[in-house]
């Protein structure tokens, strides 16, 4: 099957969405599909003109199906409207961009633009059942296919033996407001445990202003300066080593379409502490390998309980080891994506 896959910029970026796209594309190619990645300028002079240029390029490629990452919706709208009907249009949704915004005119306008793209599509793919259900509910879609991310991307290393030193908490994600790093730092300082450290792994270049606020929060607190480190973006081997050495993964996000690091941590035997937001409660099991909190209480009580209760930590680690055997694989993800694309292409050719 000939497939065109549309993203902003290069496919080797380190956010969850790009990792998902890259690993699926690699597996589709390995299965024999001809996948051409179409890279768009994330900040063109005119998105309408960029969309029309995209339509011309896609017509030259002449794929059976085009997969557009939802982030590219401004260019997808004119491109999908101009494509010949024989080419199937599929939209891959990690989460809608409008969902990140508070209620108001800006969110309403963004929602309308995204809905216009969604109506043009012949297939809709979501990365979690939670996202699929919300798309069906809010946009009246009859069908949304689900292709959950695999958990088997990273090398699986032996768990580091605890030598009686401080407990090691890990955050993995971009330094952006949706990840709520400032709230995590405030909670970590409030708990004030002398027996814990916090490692912030991720890209600080996505939102330099927010990353600057994170750096200033750390620099302005003697407690945080002594116990928080930020090594930046890590390769797969280094990230796997960090997970092997971690006592817990903390993810305080306000929205996650899935949260790939959650299952990557569980596969490594690492307990999870996270906000009950987006698809998180679908991905990890509260009361088993995970301890989830609601926005009203915030992360501090969960952090304090986890750091103070050794029996709880041991129980969560055992639950993670049991759950690891049932986690999805990237081969399964690619198979689910391909099945959805093949159905859309068959409808066009029929």
pLDDT digits (tens, 9 = 90+) for 155-201: 999 988 777 789 999 999 999 999 999 999 999 999 999 999 999 99
H/E stretch holding 23 reads helix 16-30
- Residues 256-288: tens digit of each pLDDT: 999 999 999 999 999 999 999 999 999 999 999
Q: Are residues 230 and 281 in the same domain?
A: yes
* d(C-alpha 92, C-alpha 6), whole Å: 10
Q: Are residues 309 and 336 in the same domain?
A: no
Residue with tokens 């809608």: 96
Give the domain range for residue 185: 167-324
* d(C-alpha 193, C-alpha 54), whole Å: 53
Instruction: Judge whether 210 lies within some domain.
Output: yes
Q: Are residues 124 and 42 in the same domain?
A: yes
pTM: 0.92
Q: Are residues 180 and 145 in the same domain?
A: no
Q: Are residues 127 and 204 in the same domain?
A: no
Instruction: Judge whether 154 lies within some domain.
Output: no
Q: Are residues 190 and 260 in the same domain?
A: yes
Q: Are residues 315 and 338 in the same domain?
A: no
Q: Are residues 295 and 237 in the same domain?
A: yes
Q: Are residues 117 and 142 in the same domain?
A: yes
Q: Are residues 208 and 98 in the same domain?
A: no
- Residues 226-240: tens digit of each pLDDT: 999 999 999 999 999
Q: Are residues 176 and 83 in the same domain?
A: no
Instruction: Judge whether 115 lies within some domain.
Output: yes
Residues counted in the chain: 350
Residue 15, pLDDT score:
87
Residue 161, pLDDT score:
75
Instruction: Judge whether 160 lies within some domain.
Output: no
Phi, psi of 5, deg, nearest 5 = -125, 120
Instruction: Judge whether 309 lies within some domain.
Output: yes
Q: Report the largest interatomic distance among the alpha carbons of the chain, rounded to a whole angstrom.
A: 67
Residue 274, pLDDT score:
98
Instruction: Judge whether 145 lies within some domain.
Output: yes
CATH of the domain at 189: 3.40.50.2000
The alpha carbon of residue 105 and the mean position of all alpha carbons in its chain are separated, in whole angstroms, by 26
Given pLDDT bands bounded at 50, 70 and 90, which one contains residue 350?
A: low
Residue 220, pLDDT score:
96
Residue 348, pLDDT score:
81
> Domain count of the chain?
2
Q: Are residues 318 and 250 in the same domain?
A: yes
Instruction: Judge whether 155 lies within some domain.
Output: no
Please give the mean pLDDT across all residues of the chain: 94
Instruction: Judge whether 158 lies within some domain.
Output: no
Q: Which residues contact 265 (CB under 8 A, 6 or more apart)?
A: 170, 172, 243, 246, 249, 271, 272, 320
């Amino acid at each position: 099957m000939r497939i065109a896959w549309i993203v902003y910029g290069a496919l080797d970026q380190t956010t969850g969405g790009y990792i998902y796209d890259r690993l699926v594309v690699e597996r589709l190619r390995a299965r024999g599909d001809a996948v051409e990645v179409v890279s768009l300028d994330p900040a063109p002079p005119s998105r309408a003109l960029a969309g029309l240029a995209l339509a011309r390029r896609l017509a030259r490629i002449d794929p059976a199906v085009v997969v557009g990452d939802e982030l590219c919706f401004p260019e997808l709208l004119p491109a999908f409207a101009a494509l010949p009907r024989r080419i199937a249009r599929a939209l891959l949704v990690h989460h809608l961009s409008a969902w990140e915004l508070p209620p108001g005119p800006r969110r309403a306008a963004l929602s309308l633009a995204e809905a216009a793209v969604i109506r043009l599509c012949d297939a809709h793919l979501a990365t979690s059942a939670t996202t699929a259900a919300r798309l069906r509910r809010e946009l009246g879609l009859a069908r949304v296919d689900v292709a959950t991310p695999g958990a088997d991307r990273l090398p699986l290393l032996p768990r580091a033996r605890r030598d009686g030193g401080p407990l090691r908490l890990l955050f993995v994600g971009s330094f952006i407001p949706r990840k709520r790093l400032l709230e995590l730092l405030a909670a970590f300082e409030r708990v004030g445990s002398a027996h814990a450290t916090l490692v912030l792994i991720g890209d600080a270049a996505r939102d330099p202003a927010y990353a600057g606020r994170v750096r200033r929060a750390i620099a302005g607190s003697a407690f945080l300066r002594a116990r928080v480190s930020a090594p930046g973006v890590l390769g797969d081997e280094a990230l796997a080593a960090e997970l092997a050495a971690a006592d817990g993964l903390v993810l305080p996000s306000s929205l996650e379409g899935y949260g790939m690091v959650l299952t990557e941590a569980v596969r490594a035997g690492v307990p999870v502490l996270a906000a009950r937001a987006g698809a998180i409660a679908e991905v990890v099991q509260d009361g088993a390998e995970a301890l989830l909190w609601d926005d009203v209480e915030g992360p501090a009580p969960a952090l304090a309980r986890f750091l103070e209760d050794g029996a709880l930590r041991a129980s969560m680690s055992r639950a993670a080891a049991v759950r690891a055997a049932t986690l999805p694989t990237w081969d399964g993800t690619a198979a689910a994506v391909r099945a959805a694309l093949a159905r859309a292409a068959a409808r066009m050719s029929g």
